[in-house]
Amino acid sequence: MTRGDCLGTQGWRRLCDFAQPSNRGTHPIGALMSTVAVAGRTIVLLIVFTVIVTLFATTIGVFIGCSPWLMLPIVVVLSLVFSLGSALFSDRVVMMMYGVRVVDRRDAPRLYDCIADVAQKAELPMPRVGVMDSATPNAFATGRGPSHALVCATQGLLHTLDDRELRAVIAHEMAHVRNRDILVMSIATALASSMSWMAYMLLFSRERGSFLLYIVGALFAGLAAALIKSAISRTREFGADETGARIVRDPLGLASALYKLERGVGLRPYRGNRAGESMFIVNPFRGGGGIAGLFSTHPSTQDRIDRLEAMAARGDA
């Protein structure tokens, strides 16, 4: 992990290292180890967020005069139920959120054949193929695992990239499927949202200092959720870049695609729902520097390109 890849503190660096997906290949033992590792990360993520949610709920209960022993079970149960629902139905939610159409080879032969080819190279089941009617060039994968995955590309991406670049982008998304990133990020997103919900509960308090407490609590919840989510998401993008480049043995193809996608988003940023921005291969909204960069769900595109070019120079693909 190089300087500036994640957040500035050692603690966040360790969190980023912990979240880094492994590239153990498709050997049965390696696949089993990868599945166990993902399950372990998911369990730890659940524990960390549940502890944070519990502490935050207790604090709210004390200040608004509600018994924490009454509040805690409700909050924890709701958080776990919501995270489970998100993990099981994330693909349906995302499809509705972004108006994704599931297509077959007759509807999108170029995209369908590309995904089928990359899935075969990655030794993964053929996922469902989706198309998003947006001029913003981008792509994402969703679903709870390799057998229940969907890979989606926007119309803007299909018009922007050549065949080599398209194949590299699809390999990146199939890498997310192989690494089980989708499940972990779905749970992280769900539990992060639960923290924000609790902050809004302070609006209904009429106790002394409740308005100030609401402001502080809402800021704390939002900052903690955004920082943890972005720390996990950033390293997963680096890992998917590396794995995807190895699947198709073409890191420079992905580097070229990222450059075009970043430029395309700058010209035609997405105007819709921001909830799923961490799923896309590049941030579909205009990025920001300075403080805003700390909360970005994606690492710098230039950093990703530099890593891919270094990977090609080493012949490591």
- Residues catalogued as catalytic: 173
Closest to 125 measured CA to CA, from 97, 144, 106: 144
Burial class (CB in 10 A: 0-12, 13-18, 19+), 82: middle
Beta bridge partners of residue 153, listed in sequence order: 131, 139
Beta bridge partners of residue 151, listed in sequence order: 129, 141
- Alpha-carbon gap, residue 139 to 260, rounded angstroms: 13
Residues listed for the chain: 317
Residue 154 three-state SS:
strand
C-alpha angle 22/11/141, rounded to 5°? Answer: 40
